[in-house]
Amino acid sequence: MKRILKIKLKKGILAKPISPGRELHPGVEAMGAELREKIKERFGRSFHIREVDTGSCGACESEIISATNPIYDIQRFGIDFVASPRHADALLVTGPVSRNMAVALRKTYEAMPEPKFVITLGDCAKDGGAFKDSYYTAGGVKEILPVDYHIPGCPPSPETIIKALLAFLSK
């Protein structure tokens, strides 16, 4: 316990420059503040997202998780990733939609309460990306669900994700 406390005090709050390669882009704080305002205005206090992987390579998931690490700490702006679609305001979908995932994706969407939004993340989710011509993909999420917003990238960085969510909420 003492050790943990010591490291905690030594490191301090990480969402600020601490060492080479770990600096946060200066724009993130400003974007975050704006994001928090928008969420307050449009969703009361917080914006809950349910993530679904429909056949992504995992890099998009890794970057979404990175956005929640102590350096970006996206939760402090009022965004949270929830375990159930029943708690979600928006569905964040990655991957080109493998035929095996089409039903699960639709069911997850149907389980969400209204009003609901669908955001796609990563080049695959847009139109199938590199897997567009495969015999086993649906060619993007738009073939299955109505999509409200798209976050491009392969994968989009945590900064891009924060920026894009701000743009979506400002729409």
Partner 1 sequence: MERKNEIYYEVEPGRFTEECIGLHKRLESPVMAYFAEDLRKESGKFRIYCVFLDRKAGRWEVASTNIPGNDPKMPSLAQEMYSASLFEREMAEMFGICFEGSPDSRRLALHDEAWPEGLYPLRKDFAPPAPAQKAPGERSEYRFKKVEGEGIFEVPVGPVHAGIIGPGHFRFSAAGEPIINLETRLGFTHRGVEKMLEGMDAREAVSLTEKIAGDSAFAYSSAFCAAIGKICGARVPGRAKVVRAIFLELERMYNHANDIGGIATDVGFSFPNALASVVKEGLLALNGKLTGSRYLKGVNRIGGVAADIPEEGRVLLLESIGLAQKDISEIREILHSSISFMDRVDNTGILKKKTAADLGITGLAARASGMRSDLRAVFDGDIYNACGFRPAMEEDGDVLARLDVRFSEFDASCALIRKFAAMLGSLSEPPGTETEWEPKEGFSIGCVEAWRGPLLFWIRTRRDGRIERCKIVDPSFRNWQGLCFAVLGNIIPDFPLCNKSFDLSYPGNDL
Angle between helices 59-66 and 158-170 (to 10 degrees): 80
Q: H or E stretch including 50? A: strand 47-53
What does the block give as tokens for 28?
Answer: 């993130």
Give the dihedral of Cα atoms 64, 66, 68, 69; nearest 10 deg.
Answer: 170
Residue from 12, 26, 45, 70 touching partner 1 (CB under 8 A): that is: 70
Residue from 44, 62, 76, 86 touching partner 1 (CB under 8 A): that is: 62
What does the block give as tokens for 9?
Answer: 């005090």
Residue from 83, 114, 115, 171 touching partner 1 (CB under 8 A): that is: 83
Mask 7-26, x = binds partner 1 (CB under 8 A)?
xx--x--x----xxxx----
Binding part of the chain for partner 1, among 27-35, 38-46, 48-56, 162-170 by CB under 8 A, reads 48-56
Residue from 79, 101, 162, 165 touching partner 1 (CB under 8 A): that is: 101
Residue from 47, 63, 141, 145 touching partner 1 (CB under 8 A): that is: 63
- 31 in contact with partner 1 (CB under 8 A): no
Residue from 33, 69, 113, 170 touching partner 1 (CB under 8 A): that is: 69
Q: In what order do the strands lie in the sheet with 149-151?
A: 79-81, 47-53, 90-94, 117-121, 149-151
Helices (H), 78-137: 102-110, 123-127
Give the C-alpha separation, 159 to 28, whole Å: 7
Residues that bind partner 1 (CB under 8 A): 3-4, 7-8, 11, 14, 19-22, 51-66, 69-71, 81, 83-84, 95-96, 98-104, 108, 124, 128-139, 143-144, 154-155, 157
